[in-house]
Structure 1
Amino acid sequence: MRLGQTTDTLDAEGRVLETRTYIPPDRAQVLKALEGFTGAIMQQPPAYSALKVAGVPSYKLARQGKAEPLKPRAVTISSIELQAFDDPFLSLAVRCSKGVYIRTLCADLGEVLQAGAHLTKLVRTRSGRFTIDHAVTLDRLAALVADNTLDQALVSMDEALADMPSIALNELEAGRILHGNSVPWLGEASITGSPMLRIHDSSGKLLALGKQVRGDIRPELVFS
């Protein structure tokens, strides 16, 4: 991010709104300011976002000069690490929940430091259990397609959903699930309260995604 300059989109692609003269903060001041953005906080989404206002994406209204302030939302920022600071540029590593706008974080931090700021670069290094090391470039994908070896880059659905709890059913139960029917479940209580779970047959094949509902396992999405 860059201190001393604000934009309408809160990032480097936007129109510069203001260039400020400010007293450069020291590292201790930046660290102190960051403390106010960790934990459960309320954050106002930027006008240039895909959130809808009366059914219209906010960014479309913003482009027409009709943007309306969006309601602040509860989000969680688990940690913020100051990786580099060479005024006017700061580099942060943020671990956060879904719904966090890093553009807004940068802009808000700039205001706390009385300098103004905008985002200059954003790299998502992790999403759930997948890190940037799992990523594949478009050039690499094109090469795999050309060589008919695209499967080298594919992740199975079971692996992609490995954070979900799973259960294994016998042949009779599996047959009912494959036909969209619920089955009684007297197994592990640990799956109670889980929003979704993976349903396997006795051989370990993924059959469906489902929920536990009043003692039954109900399929929500069945794979033929």
Structure 2
Amino acid sequence: MTGGLINILKPPGMTSHDVVSFVRRTYHLKRVGHAGTLDPAAAGVLPVALGPATRMLEYMTDCDKSYRVELTIGYETDTGDDTGTITHSIDCIMPAQSQIEEVLSSFLGTIEQVPPMYSAIKIQGKKLYELARAGITVERQARKITIHEINLLKVNEKSILFDVTCSKGTYIRSLCTDIGAKINCPVVMSFLVRTRVGSFEIGQAVTLEEISTNSESAILPVDHALEYMPKIILSQEVAKAFKHGQTIPTTMSDEGGQNLLRIYDHEDVLIGIGQKKEKAAVIIPIKVLMSGQP
């Protein structure tokens, strides 16, 4: 096996690192990595790269992600989800469905979001969750994120269920907290399933049990993770130049704002990642796969 990807259905109760350790043992590989950490209590799609395919992980984290989320009203915790210590609680009356829909739609588009203290973001060399566990709270800078879609599914007396599709870097716990602020009630994220990471869909995800039973059938080709990039097929001569790290000509325009490109040789084999140089008719090699494999 030269490498590949697995669309894993992470179960609740395991860390993303636990899943990576399981894959290492199953496939007898040291080089294994994942794209997009999921909280231990959360379930859903966790893309995992095997062997030399780990070189592509940086391109897998740029994808949009989709989630199914439940938030519960009436209390908040130090972690923002229902696994933390309750810090505040009050009796709340659930707003009308029309008001909830209006609040949810107010988050559509590019917004600013403050990351939660319980996150892996580093400040002065320390991860925020390490500081939080030590009882230290620090000021966090708001970051720009994009909410592409957000749809209300169900409203109960104490909970709201919705689907959201968002850009990388979005913290769903923070989104729930911000929703709570707009409905004037403390909330926690009480349920989270990631349903999609780029082209990795939950409907095609495999369980750990399925991997244990038939490990080879779970492996996907590496370009499965790159389908969001435009595809370019080169002639044999130009592909050879690209594989030697040379800038190559292109007739592509700058329209559409495309940046990264997946590059294939004349036999339709992935040979690397390129980047269209702005206002120039050339593609610059960004990552070259010399053997045609990751």
TM surpasses 0.5: yes
CA distance in structure 2 between the partners assigned to 1:129 and 1:21 by the alignment: 41
Are the structure 2 counterparts of residues 119 and 56 from structure 1 closer, same or farther at C-alpha, using a change threshold of 3 Å? same
Are the structure 2 counterparts of residues 169 and 191 from structure 1 closer, same or farther at C-alpha, using a change threshold of 3 Å? farther
For residue 190 of structure 1, report the CA deviation from its aligned partner: 5.8
Give 1:206's aligned residue: 270
Greater relative contact order, per chain length (Cα 8 Å cut-off, separation 6+): 2
Are the structure 2 counterparts of residues 39 and 189 from structure 1 closer, same or farther at C-alpha, using a change threshold of 3 Å? closer
For residue 97 of structure 1, report the CA deviation from its aligned partner: 1.6
Give the residue type in structure 2 aligned to 1:105. Answer: L
CA distance in structure 1 between the partners assigned to 2:97 and 2:211 by the alignment: 42
State which drifts further: 33-42 or 102-111: 33-42
Are the structure 2 counterparts of residues 38 and 169 from structure 1 closer, same or farther at C-alpha, using a change threshold of 3 Å? closer
CA distance in structure 1 between the partners assigned to 2:283 and 2:103 by the alignment: 48
Q: Judge conservation of contact 1:39–1:76 (CA < 8 Å) in 2.
A: yes
Q: Judge conservation of contact 2:251–2:281 (CA < 8 Å) in 1.
A: no
| 1:160 pairs with 2:225 | yes
Picking from 58, 63, 67, the partner of 2:137 is 67
SS at match of 2:214: helix
Q: Judge conservation of contact 1:191–1:197 (CA < 8 Å) in 2.
A: no
Give the residue type in structure 2 aligned to 1:135. Answer: A
State which drifts further: 99-108 or 26-35: 26-35
Picking from 160, 164, 168, the partner of 1:98 is 168
SS at match of 1:177: helix
**Mind listing any 5+ residue stretches in structure 2 that lack a counterpart?**
1-70
Q: Which of the two has higher C-alpha Rg?
A: 1
Give 1:215's aligned residue: 281
Are the structure 2 counterparts of residues 171 and 79 from structure 1 closer, same or farther at C-alpha, using a change threshold of 3 Å? closer
Q: Judge conservation of contact 1:169–1:200 (CA < 8 Å) in 2.
A: yes
CA distance in structure 1 between the partners assigned to 2:78 and 2:229 by the alignment: 40
Q: How many residues align?
A: 218
State which drifts further: 123-132 or 10-19: 123-132
| 1:77 pairs with 2:147 | yes
SS at match of 2:190: coil
Within a 5 Å distance, the mapping from 1:111-130 to structure 2 comes to: 111-130=181-200
Give 2:98's aligned residue: 28
Give the residue type in structure 2 aligned to 1:92. Answer: F
In angstroms, what is the RMSD of aligned CA positions?
2.0
Give the residue type in structure 2 aligned to 1:20. Answer: I
Give the residue type in structure 1 aligned to 2:252. Answer: E
Are the structure 2 counterparts of residues 196 and 5 from structure 1 closer, same or farther at C-alpha, using a change threshold of 3 Å? same
CA distance in structure 1 between the partners assigned to 2:239 and 2:245 by the alignment: 10
State which drifts further: 189-198 or 169-178: 189-198
Deviations 1:104-135 (A, max 9, x none): 11112222222210001111111223321121
Within a 5 Å distance, the mapping from 1:42-53 to structure 2 comes to: 42-53=112-123
**Mind listing any 5+ residue stretches in structure 1 that lack a counterpart?**
none
CA distance in structure 1 between the partners assigned to 2:256 and 2:155 by the alignment: 46
Q: Judge conservation of contact 2:199–2:224 (CA < 8 Å) in 1.
A: no
Give 1:182's aligned residue: 247
CA distance in structure 1 between the partners assigned to 2:158 and 2:166 by the alignment: 24
Give 2:35's aligned residue: none
Give the residue type in structure 2 aligned to 1:210. Answer: G
Give the residue type in structure 1 aligned to 2:207. Answer: T
For residue 193 of structure 1, report the CA deviation from its aligned partner: 5.0
SS at match of 2:162: strand
Q: Judge conservation of contact 1:198–1:208 (CA < 8 Å) in 2.
A: yes
TM-score normalised to structure 2 length? 0.69
CA distance in structure 2 between the partners assigned to 1:134 and 1:8 by the alignment: 34
